[in-house]
Amino acid sequence: MIQRPFGRILGLCVVCILAHTLVVDADGAWPFGGGSGPAARGQDLHNLGLLGAKARDADAAPRAPMGSGMRTGQSKGPGNDAGPGRLAVVLTLPDGPAAKAGLVAGDVIVGVGKRAFKDGSLAALAEALRKAESGKGEVILLVERVGAARKQKIAMTIPTGGKPAAKPTKGAGRTRLIEAALQWLAERQQSGGGYRQTLSGLNGSVCQTALAGLAWLAGGSDDETGPHADNVARAASFCAHNLGKGSMGGAPMRGGKNWDQTNWGVAHAAIFLGELYARRPSPDVKRALLAAGTSLAGRQEASGGWAHGPGGPNALGYVELNIVTGLALCGMGLATRAGFEVPPDVMKKAEAYLKASSGGGGVGYSANSGQAGQGNIGRTAVTWLGYRTLGLGKGGFAGQMKRWASRNAGAVMGGHASLMQHILLAGVAAHAIGGRAKTTFWKTLERDLILARAPDGSFQPRPWHESLSMGSNSDVTFGQVWTTAAWTIVLACEPEKGVRPGLPAWMGL
């Protein structure tokens, strides 16, 4: 592989940027199915791990295509985060274990081995996959098939990883997952350094590219060394060139509404570039990082919080949301490594706003009526990480957030909008806190990690109670790069001497 440092390719990306396009998968196509138009961009399906299959709730009728770009089933029961009791197969990965074993769309999985699912399907299926991967590789599903008088047992073989596979969040088992995912991300990076545009156009592509860059950094590469040095260099160039560009729909205003969402891209780019600069300082990265820090400071709202982007109330009529506030703090904190100085009044206003929005250390959605005081793990985790990168991680409000995040490290299903975002932020914070927080996180999320994996090395999104009730899943719209990069960061972020450098700058270690 030709390794190209960031500075040598700084000018390549401008002409390689793709125009905003919607990602549309043909009916029945892996990974999301969907339709032939932008109103049916994908289905909200449960991924069945290394089986290479996706399924919906067999006891809920599929919804018609919706304008949001989603098509899902609606659960009859509350929550449904433990998974339906009967899984109706919708898609299989071509040449994957499920397809090779003869599992077809329309089959209904009702159990594993001789036992029917009880209290949801996900935990039992994940445990069967874990045992099979660390053993002989055989998984036997109990299946109802159209036209068959009795339930059938269908055996399939998944790739095995030996004893380390029994502990996918530790040691060699974790390394195997990380390396496969990093290679998957590398193979899908575009020549200009970014990824094809899905949600929020170019701005969304910057977010995904920054996350992929963080994953490669955590795995041991930078822009000059390591197996993915060229990927890191091109990702850094892409992010630097596109800071603040490409709001949702390609323009800040559409139909008289403010659709600017570029704070997301600037903040994610700053976190990635800051981690890269901490690993290997260079003048090019420093310039981009200083620009990102300055931009974020200037984008603060008068209230002290941050919005999706500048320009006043968005299309839904609100301004601030604190998950962006936390990301902005992280970006500015990492920019200080390159010499950026956060204006004192910026942090003073931010802390006053955050305290007004929060309760007991849990960071609320905003300081607005009905949104303040409602703590959430994703918002709390990222805000605490922001304080930590700014050198404010001890005592006071930061100490309250840390204690709250430690107690609630696994409570990702209480998040909003993007389940994967809450998994990402809670996971990084849990590893930064360590101890009980990390244990709590993985005790809750190991099931979802196992089921998110696909045989090709990627990680896939899942439905949850919010996406099922709303008929929309932004993780599906963002696509598998978003989910794969986020899970890989969670797995690789913790530094492990002699194995991986992790993400010590973002974690404030």
Q: What is the DSSP string of 278-299?
A: HHS--HHHHHHHHHHHHHHHHT
Q: Are 135 and 95 in contact (CB under 8 A)?
A: no
* Alpha-carbon span 489 to 465, nearest angstrom: 24
CB 323 within 8 A of CB 357: no
- Beta carbons within 8 Å of 148's beta carbon, 6+ residues apart: none
Calpha distance 346→358 (Å, rounded) = 18
What pLDDT, on the 0 to 100 scale, is given for residue 62? 72
Which residues, other chains included, contact 166 with Cβ-Cβ below 8 Å and sequence gap of 6+? 130, 131, 133, 134, 173
Q: Are strands 53-57 and 257-258 parallel, antiparallel or unpaired?
A: unpaired
Task: Say how far apart CA 33 and CA 291 lie, in whole Å.
Answer: 40
* Measured distance CA(110)–CA(451) in Å, rounded: 16
Complete domains list, the chain, with CATH: 6-17+167-507 (1.50.10.20), 46-165 (2.30.42.10)
Q: Give the pLDDT confidence score for residue 200 in this predicted structure.
A: 84
**Global confidence as pTM:** 0.92
Looking at residue 271, its amino acid is I
| Rg, the chain, Cα only | 22
pLDDT along the chain (509 residues), means of 10: 32 23 50 60 92 96 51 45 96 96 97 94 98 98 94 96 97 98 98 92 95 98 98 98 79 72 97 98 97 98 96 91 97 98 97 95 91 93 98 94 97 93 98 98 98 98 93 92 98 97 97
Tokens of 268: 């994610």
Q: Answer yes or no: are the C-beta atoms of 306 and 349 closer than 8 Å.
A: no
Q: What's the pLDDT score for residue 75?
A: 40
Q: Considering only CA atoms, which of 127, 128, 92, 87 is closest in space to residue 109?
A: 87
pLDDT at residue 225 in the model: 97
Which residue in 35, 23, 88, 106 sits closest to 66, CA to CA?
35
Rounded distance, CA 313 to CA 320, Å? 8
